[in-house]
Amino acid sequence: MQASLFRSRVYDAGVIAKYYSRRPWIVLWRSLQVLWWLGTFIFGLQSDRWLGREEKNLEKRAIELRQLLTRLGPTFIKVGQALSTRPDLIRKRLF
């Protein structure tokens, strides 16, 4: 099953759903990874606010956000690209 899942050149949502429904630990592990990395980043942002270092660490946090989205993979890279076009959501000076 795994070999056929990764060798297929046609997207088949049913095959993918079947594969991961039998492997919930993979989904759980990935969810924990995403929550951990995002939580760590958000904690860093909040600690900057608490300690009054928002302006000082602005560039550092922007770099960390880019690296975080890259580390999390293509879906998160696309989210980052979408956010970069929305100055009403993310301040322009972060990019």
Q: What pLDDT is attached to residue 95?
A: 46
Angle at 85 between CA 89 and CA 77, to 5 degrees: 95
CB-CB neighbours of 66 under 10 Å: 15
Q: What pLDDT is attached to residue 93?
A: 59
Q: Percentage of residues in the chain with pLDDT exceeding 70?
A: 85
Tokens at residue 46, please? Answer: 């909040």
In angstroms, the CA 42 to CA 38 distance is 6
Q: Which domain holds residue 19?
A: 2-94
Q: What pLDDT is attached to residue 80?
A: 85
Q: What pLDDT is attached to residue 89?
A: 73
Mean pLDDT in residue range 66-87: 89
Q: Count how many domains the chain has.
A: 1
Range of weakest confidence among 53-57, 77-81, 90-94: 90-94
